[in-house]
Chain A
Amino acid sequence: MSGRGNIPVSLRAMLISVLAAPLTLWAAAAPVSDPGAADQHEFAAAPAAHSPDALPLATRSLVNYLVPAIRLVRDDGKDVTLIDELNDGRPVVLNFIYTSCSGICPLASHIFSQLQYQLGAERDHVHLVSISVDPEQDTPARLRAYAQQYSAGPSWQHYTGSADASSAAQRAFDVYTGDKMGHTPVTLVRMAPGQPWVRFDGFATADMLLKELHGQGQVMAAASPTRP
């Protein structure tokens, strides 16, 4: 197992990164215009703004992951293989969640929701993939309910499967910690099959992900998706 479980060291690192963030940054920030806020009803008094810069800065690296032939179950109940799901020609943005999670996952899924919104007309040309790290609890039905909370469209799919399949998927992308509650925020982006994966450790905001997707030219440059 990697050293990711070393809490005291990481906690110091986190405190240091929090202390380093200028206090004026969030105090002066104008209320963040949340694209998703359009469909939320008005409140009498709103909570204080929470700056997007409050998220711990993600570090970016390039990695060539080998995706093994893993059988998963998609949220529509279909048996699929991970390789096929990732290789329909579209760019892929990938994260790991579980539906009982209260800390990291709501943030991570909200980012995907924002990304989906910001992609606008391009959204069906990008495949958003969320894999469960608590597969025995996260049945397709539970995943559908979770996806609905975040307004997931048809190009954002959630996956479950056997405990072994989920572990294998986590290991393949080096996010496995042996325990669902040990997970840390990671987002992975791959522009096309055969290209390396861009790994964000920490929270990659929707803006960062969008930039990543556009950085290689037009998103639509990839072949149109072939959905089984």
Chain B
Amino acid sequence: MLACSLLAVSAWGRLKPLSEPALKDAEALYREGVLPDGQSLRGTRAGGEAIEGRAAACANCHRRSGFGVEEGRTIVPPITGRYLFRESTGASPMVHSGAEAVSSQRSRYSSETLARAIREGIDPDGRTLDYLMPRFALDDASMALLTGYLKQLSSHPVPGALTDIVEFATIVTPDADPVKRDAMLDVLNHFFDRNNAFYRGADPTLQGPLRSHVATGRSWQLRVWELTGSPETWEEQLQRRFKADPVFAVISGIGANTWEPVHRFCERQSLPCLMPNVDLPVVAESDFYPVYFSRGVLLEADVIASRLGAEANAGKPRRVIQVFRSDDIGAAAARQLAGALAAAGVTVAMHELTSRHPARELSGVARDAASADALVLWLRPEDLKALPADASAPRRVFVSGLMGGLEKAPLPQTWRDPTRLTYPFDLPTRRAIPMDYPLGWFRIQHIPVVDERIQIDTYIACSILGEAASTMRNDLVPDYLVERVEVELSHRLINGYYPRLGLAPGQRFASKGAYLVRFADPSGERIVADSDWIVP
């Protein structure tokens, strides 16, 4: 045993830690299939197909964290140094759901046998690797680079997870609604307290075998990072917070007009940013760490575009008026919709609401809209209330459900009939049963429901975090958390307001569609679907 350890030390001891530039080169090789000289990594799949570049990148299957993934009956094994070279850590064994079964059945790799595996597909015991593993052409220098990269991959001390306590942060922007913020924090605090109630101490033998939706490995701590001032200063505030108080991941959170500086901070800091309560996210699906419930008002814009655009193609000329406030998220949605409609040959008039008491402005818009084919309202409930009740409503009205309060949108009665509400959730009657579980949990925890949507979404985010974390066991690595979220998400039956949630590499928005709904009665909140579930 000692001899083996000495041999192991000598085998990879020859490898020096990678320098900064070498690390960048190695990362490009691993994640993007680009060799240090700029050429594409080349490989051959089973069956003879040649692959190169991005399609050949190790990270595609072994994932960014190097911990691999399960697909059907296949397990893509972990290839981090600790699994390949079995470096002794003295801590409890690293266990990935199926990896232990794979790696314990073979001898440790050395630099030489690893090179042979990558080039020729033979493991250290002379067995052929799984058919999914391609053969790669790598010269000795690139091979040494890759080996050095794998040795250190996901093997560093992780900020926020250095001790028995895993630190999390939730981020609140200064323009967030304070009632929603408190409602969210109520759920978060209860969730973290409940997690810690199961924590039985550092000794793993005291951990129960239960795999509840709450992680039981360690104690969790929640930091609340309240941002101040203008968005240009937020990234710097977050950097200072992180430096003073490193965290493992960012969970939930709440924003209003923009989440962009938070998104950028998390991506640059390699911090998972899981499912914040924002109706205007950042759309950048090639980013990795920020993950969202949906594209929010941008999704709503695309849904309206698909309804209007489809009709424009029938040949009839269309003129559409949009109403929004420049200091709210409706502006971004209106721009998105305007772009999509223009592409379909529809004329779009943009009306920026400016008065604090917009009744007269809105009457003017309503008059103008009488001659338009559709009016789109990106407005909050207080503005919807100011719509002219006495005048006849335009022929067709679209209202943002997210902004207007969903079925509670306070439209005047004459406006209800021609209105179609964008509804990026399952219908209330359909989601009633799955909602029983989180609502029941609120009751048991004595959490007053002051904003059901925010609180349910926060609950779902916590639940997803708990499930993903529980499958990581001791491999607490931020990249791995995001990957486990991707895998675990589509297994869920309870998704709050959403009919289903799903993610995959390259997908950062878990819910992808919406209904258009109309009011069933002249008053009240009953709505019926006016469309199928639209995925634009």
Q: Contacts A37-B50, A102-B505 known; A110 to B45 CB distance under 8 Å?
A: yes
B315 within 8 A of A: no
CB of A114 to closest CB in B, whole Å: 8
Min C-beta distance of A108 to chain B, whole Å: 10
B 75-86 binary contact with A (CB < 8 Å = 1; else 0): 110000000000
Contacts of B61 in A (CB 8 A): 102-103
- Residues of B274-308 at the interface with A, using a CB-CB cut-off of 8 Å, are none
Contact residues on A (Cβ < 8 Å of other chain), bracket: 35 or more
B507's partner among A45, A100, A102 (CB-CB below 8 A) is A100
By beta carbon, the residue of chain A nearest B98 is A7
B-binding segment of A14-22, A61-69, A122-130, A212-220: A14-22
| Closest-CB distance, B83 to chain A (whole angstroms) | 16
List chain A residues, Cβ under 8 A from B71: 101, 103-104, 181-183
Q: Are A136 and B49 in contact (CB under 8 A)?
A: no
A-B contact pairs, 17 of them (CB 8 A): A10-B73, A14-B73, A18-B130, A32-B44, A33-B48, A34-B49, A34-B50, A46-B137, A50-B48, A52-B46, A104-B71, A104-B72, A106-B51, A137-B502, A180-B504, A181-B72, A183-B71
The B85-141 residues at the A interface (CB cut-off 8 A) are 98, 101-102, 105, 119-122, 126-132, 134-137, 139
Cβ-closest chain B residue relative to A182: B72
- Distance of A134 Cα from B506 Cα, bound (Å): 13
The answer for the CA separation of A136 and B521 in the assembled complex, in Å, is 31
Contact residues in A for B136 (Cβ distance below 8 Å): 47
A155 / chain B contacts, CB cutoff of 8 Å: none
Contacts of B137 in A (CB 8 A): 43, 45-48
List B contacts of A48 (CB < 8 A): 44, 119-121, 135, 137
B352 interfacial contact with A, CB 8 Å: no
Q: Report the separation of the CA atoms of residues A45 and B105 in the bound assembly, to the nearest whole angstrom.
A: 33
Chain B residues 494-522 with CB under 8 Å of chain A are 499-500, 502, 504-507, 512-513
Query: Bound complex: CA of A46 vs CA of B500, how far in Å?
Result: 44
Set of chain A residues within 8 Å of B73, measured between Cβ atoms: 4, 7, 10-11, 13-14, 184
Q: Is A157 an interface residue (CB 8 A)?
A: no
Q: Which residue in A10, A45, A51 is a CB contact (below 8 Å) of B46?
A: A51
Assembled-state Cα–Cα distance A100/B512 (Å): 15
**A49 CB-CB contact with B under 8 Å:** yes
B491 close to chain A: CB less than 8 A: yes
A43: contacting residue among B42, B134, B487, CB under 8 A? B42
| Given contacts A23-B128, A26-B121, A49 and B48 within 8 Å (CB-CB) | yes
**Does chain A have a CB within 8 A of B60?**
yes
CA distance A139 to B74 in the complex (A): 27
B-contact bits for A154-181, CB 8 A (1 contact / 0 none): 0000000011000000000000011111
Q: B49 to A14, Cβ gap below 8 A?
A: no
B45 adjacent to A50 (CB under 8 Å): yes
How far in angstroms is the closest Cβ of chain B from A131? 16
A interface with B by C-beta (< 8 Å)? 4, 7-8, 10-11, 13-15, 18-19, 21, 23, 26-27, 32-34, 36-37, 40, 43, 45-52, 54-56, 98, 100-104, 106-107, 110-111, 114, 134-137, 139, 162-163, 177-185, 203, 205
Chain B residues with Cβ below 8 Å from A180 are 490, 502, 504
Q: How far is the CB of B429 from chain A (nearest CB, A)?
A: 17
> Which among A8, A15, A47, A205 has the greatest number of chain B C-beta atoms within 10 A?
A47
Contact A47 B127 (CB under 8 A): no
> Does B50 lie within 8 Å of A205, measured CB to CB?
no
- Report which residue of A14, A50, A98 has the largest number of chain B beta carbons within 10 angstroms of its beta carbon: A50
- Cross-chain contact A14 with B532 (CB below 8 angstroms): no
The answer to whether A47 and B134 touch (CB under 8 A), given A4-B73, A205-B47, is yes
A49–B47 alpha-carbon span in the complex (Å):
9
Complex Cα distance A64/B500, Å?
Answer: 31
A8 closest partner in B (C-beta): B101
